[in-house]
Homo-oligomer: A and B are copies of this chain.
Amino acid sequence: MKRQNCLCKSISVEEMEDIKTHIPEDETIQKMADFFKVFGDGTRLKILYYLSRHELCVADLALLVQMQQSAISHQLKLLRLDRLVKYRKEGTTTYYSLDDEHINSIFKVALEHLQER
C-alpha cells in the first residue's frame, strides 16, 4: 500500500512549493545562524556590553568580566572576525571598541522579548 509523505490538510502542495521556493539560500541561512551564535554566549554579551559603554583594553575587560585574559582574548578574536569589534594598538596595549551599530538594536529586541513574561 503505497503512501505519499504526509501533506497535511492545512496546506496545499502548491502553497508548500511556493513557500519552499522563497526561503533564503542555505548559505544565507547559515550566515544568519552564525551571526546569532555570536550573541549566544554570556561572556561575549558582557564584553559587548562593556564595549558599548567605553573603549577598553584587554586587561580591563578581563577585570570587568572576571575571566582570564586568555579567555577574553579568544573571544575578542571571534568578535573581530565577525566584525563586531575593532581595535587600535598603542604600544603593547590593544584597545577594543564596537564596530557595528546594530548591536544596540539587537540588545533591545532581546530585552523586549525577555520582558514579556
Interface residues of A (CB under 8 A from B): 5-8, 10-11, 15-16, 19-20, 22-24, 26, 28-42, 44-46, 49-50, 53-57, 59-60, 63-64, 83, 93, 95, 100, 102, 105-107, 109-114, 117
Q: List 21 A-B contacts (CB under 8 A).
A: A6-B60, A7-B60, A10-B56, A10-B57, A16-B60, A16-B64, A19-B54, A19-B64, A20-B64, A22-B53, A23-B49, A29-B46, A30-B42, A32-B39, A32-B111, A35-B113, A36-B37, A36-B39, A102-B112, A105-B109, A109-B109
Q: What is the distance, in angstroms, from A86's C-beta to the closest C-beta of chain B?
A: 14
Q: What is the distance, in angstroms, from A80's C-beta to the closest C-beta of chain B?
A: 14
User: Quick one: given A29-B46, A49-B23, are A56 and B8 in contact (CB under 8 Å)?
Assistant: yes
Q: What is the distance, in angstroms, from A13's C-beta to the closest C-beta of chain B?
A: 10
Q: What is the distance, in angstroms, from A72's C-beta to the closest C-beta of chain B?
A: 12
Contact of A95 among B10, B24, B95, B109 (CB under 8 A): B10
